[in-house]
């Protein structure tokens, strides 16, 4: 296997994918990017930071305009002001994702990082999912989701993530073949999943 030092994590809501990424980065001693990434992007772009909040879960357009366009508009932000604010946010985020990947090994959760970094060959793309029962449990305990029908809420958040991903990429969110490896944390546990990924990255008897 080619040496993979950058790990992108896409995850179902409530799957523990963010925890996996955070623990993995900690154990490997490499940077972790999630909300942090948004803040860097906001700071660098000058776009109102509030616009970045939950951008991933805001887009609901179901077509591939941007995937078709490609976002390979490499120029400064001023050249793309005719685009919607969501698209501008995505482009700035993508630039930041590329920049942090350029710096060296790291873990990046969400932000279509797998797609943004698709030209690099040192990236391991991971999808984290879990059984609905565990996702509902995590939604209630970790995210304080309080709803009559929690399962619907969990699925709705996934739907928004899928829409965002599919709007900005050419791929279908959650398809096994988008990723190098997809893991069910209900089977392996959070710690087991972290261990599995750590061993892959360290190529220690995988």
Q: Which residues bind a copy of itself (CB under 8 A)?
A: 1-2, 4, 12, 124, 127, 129, 174-177, 179-184, 187-189, 192, 195-196, 199-200, 204-206
Residue 16 burial (C-beta neighbours within 10 Å; 0-12, 13-18, 19+) = buried
Return the number of the residue (144 or 204) whose C-beta is nearest a copy of itself: 204
Return the number of the residue (95 or 178) whose C-beta is nearest a copy of itself: 178
* SS3 at position 70: coil
CA–CA gap between residue 26 and residue 19 (Å, rounded): 10
Return the number of the residue (65 or 206) whose C-beta is nearest a copy of itself: 206
Q: Does residue 8 contact residue 182 with C-beta atoms inside 8 Å?
A: no
Min. distance of Cβ 180 from a copy of itself in angstroms? 4
Min. distance of Cβ 155 from a copy of itself in angstroms? 12
Query: What do you get for the CA distance between the two ends of the chain, in Å?
Result: 10
Return the number of the residue (31 or 189) whose C-beta is nearest a copy of itself: 189
* SS3 at position 107: strand
Min. distance of Cβ 106 from a copy of itself in angstroms? 19
Min. distance of Cβ 175 from a copy of itself in angstroms? 6
Phi and psi angles of residue 139, each rounded to the nearest 5 degrees, phi first? -60, -40
């Amino acid at each position: 296997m080619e040496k993979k030092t950058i790990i992108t994590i896409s995850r179902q809501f409530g799957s523990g994918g963010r925890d996996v990424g955070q623990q993995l980065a900690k154990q490997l001693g490499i940077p972790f990017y999630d909300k942090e990434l948004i803040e860097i992007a906001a700071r660098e772009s000058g776009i109102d930071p509030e616009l970045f909040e939950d951008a991933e879960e805001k887009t609901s357009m179901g077509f591939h305009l941007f995937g078709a366009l490609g976002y390979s508009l490499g120029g400064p932000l001023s050249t793309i002001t005719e685009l919607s604010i969501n698209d501008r946010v995505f482009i700035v985020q993508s630039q930041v994702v590329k920049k942090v990947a350029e710096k060296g090994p790291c873990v990046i959760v969400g932000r279509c990082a797998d797609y943004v970094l698709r030209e690099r060959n040192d990236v391991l793309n991971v999808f984290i999912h879990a059984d609905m029962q565990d996702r509902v449990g995590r939604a209630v305990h970790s995210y304080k989701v309080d709803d009559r029908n929690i399962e619907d809420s969990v699925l709705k958040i996934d739907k928004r993530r899928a829409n965002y991903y599919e709007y900005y990429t050419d791929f279908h969110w959650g398809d096994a073949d988008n990723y190098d490896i997809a893991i069910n944390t209900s089977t392996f546990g959070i710690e087991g999943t972290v261990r599995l990924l750590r061993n892959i990255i360290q190529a220690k008897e995988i």
